[in-house]
């Protein structure tokens, strides 16, 4: 594991808070690494970033392809807010990442419920939040929010994921946004995090949603359903209609596909 002190110092200088920043050329998973720091008592706001991952992890037990050219970032939180508010961390992170990409890269990603960012119909970013509950108190001891962003498309492409995965820039575009984008995602997120309960970011979440008004399919209890998305509520739940019936899907329950 080779640390990159130059990049660490640059990101620190761009952050609004005085967080610990660890940048590696390669890690198995930034979430896994940060969880071990958290177990050893690392402070809220600690950040682990890698330029590639060998075992990047995604939602629902999937893997997350993490080639060079991407940004793989994990942020440690020790939320004092209610468990209900903590459920909103991922939605706030999705809006923060979309905003940061818009500010630094001048591209405007859409959000696909729950936490994927899309640009030109392809997934450019995913978020995995993992929490650890204190068995004594039943309270959330810490949460690691992990964000992967495909900044530049690899020269050899995304292989078998090439139909769904995309990047902010094509392989021949010159970019140097790694540090600015890392810091901006964290800076914007931390503002939302201070007032998670206010759910102020949900208005922008809805504006950026690529599902509202669309027909989607999803699998639940081994059954395939097709329904129309009516709305996303302030708890980031998906409100659907099927055969005149209203259905509410919780984040974490299913993944949906646009028809």
Verify binding: residue 166, ligand BTN, rule CB under 6 A.
no
Q: Of the listed pieces 56-64, 83-91, 167-175, 238-246, which binds ligand BTN according to CB under 6 A?
A: 56-64
Residue nearest to ligand BTN (CB): 126
Judged by CB under 6 A, the chain residues 172 through 231 that form the site for ligand BTN are none
Question: Rounded to the nearest 5 degrees, what angle is found at the Cα of 55, between the Cα atoms of 75 and 131?
Answer: 35
Verify binding: residue 59, ligand BTN, rule CB under 6 A.
yes
Judged by CB under 6 A, which of 95, 126, 167, 184 binds ligand BTN? 126
Q: Rounded distance, CA 257 to CA 243, Å? A: 18
Judged by CB under 6 A, which of 11, 37, 47, 64 binds ligand BTN? 64
Pairing of strands 140-150, 238-242: unpaired
80/120 with CB nearer ligand BTN: 120
Judged by CB under 6 A, which of 87, 128, 167, 236 binds ligand BTN? 128
Q: Of the listed pieces 16-24, 51-59, 201-209, 223-231, which binds ligand BTN according to CB under 6 A?
A: 51-59
Judged by CB under 6 A, which of 148, 190, 205, 256 binds ligand BTN? 148
Judged by CB under 6 A, which of 72, 158, 193, 201 binds ligand BTN? 72
Judged by CB under 6 A, which of 8, 11, 23, 56 binds ligand BTN? 56
């Amino acid at each position: 594991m080779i640390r990159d002190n130059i990049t660490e110092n640059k990101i620190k200088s761009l952050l609004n808070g005085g967080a610990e920043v660890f940048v590696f050329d390669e890690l198995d998973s930034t979430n896994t690494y940060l969880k071990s720091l958290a177990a050893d008592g690392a402070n809220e706001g600690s950040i682990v970033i890698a330029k590639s991952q060998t075992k990047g992890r995604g939602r629902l037990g999937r893997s997350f392809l993490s080639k060079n050219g991407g940004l793989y970032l994990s942020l440690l939180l020790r939320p004092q807010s209610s468990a209900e508010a903590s459920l909103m961390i991922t939605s706030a992170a999705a809006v923060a990442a979309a905003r940061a990409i818009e500010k630094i890269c001048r591209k405007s990603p859409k959000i696909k419920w729950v936490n994927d960012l899309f640009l030109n119909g392809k997934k450019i970013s995913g978020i995995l939040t993992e929490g650890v509950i204190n068995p004594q108190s039943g309270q959330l001891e810490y949460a690691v929010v992990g964000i992967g962003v495909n900044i530049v498309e690899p020269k050899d492409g995304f292989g078998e994921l090439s139909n769904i995965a995309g990047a902010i820039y094509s392989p021949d575009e010159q970019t140097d946004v790694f540090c600015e984008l890392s810091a901006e995602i964290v800076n914007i997120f931390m503002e939302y995090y201070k007032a998670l309960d206010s759910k102020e970011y949900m208005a922008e979440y809805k504006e950026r949603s690529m599902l509202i008004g669309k027909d989607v399919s999803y699998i639940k209890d081994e059954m395939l359903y097709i329904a129309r998305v009516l709305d996303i509520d302030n708890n980031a739940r998906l409100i659907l209609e099927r055969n005149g019936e209203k259905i509410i899907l919780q984040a974490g329950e299913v993944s949906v596909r646009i028809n």
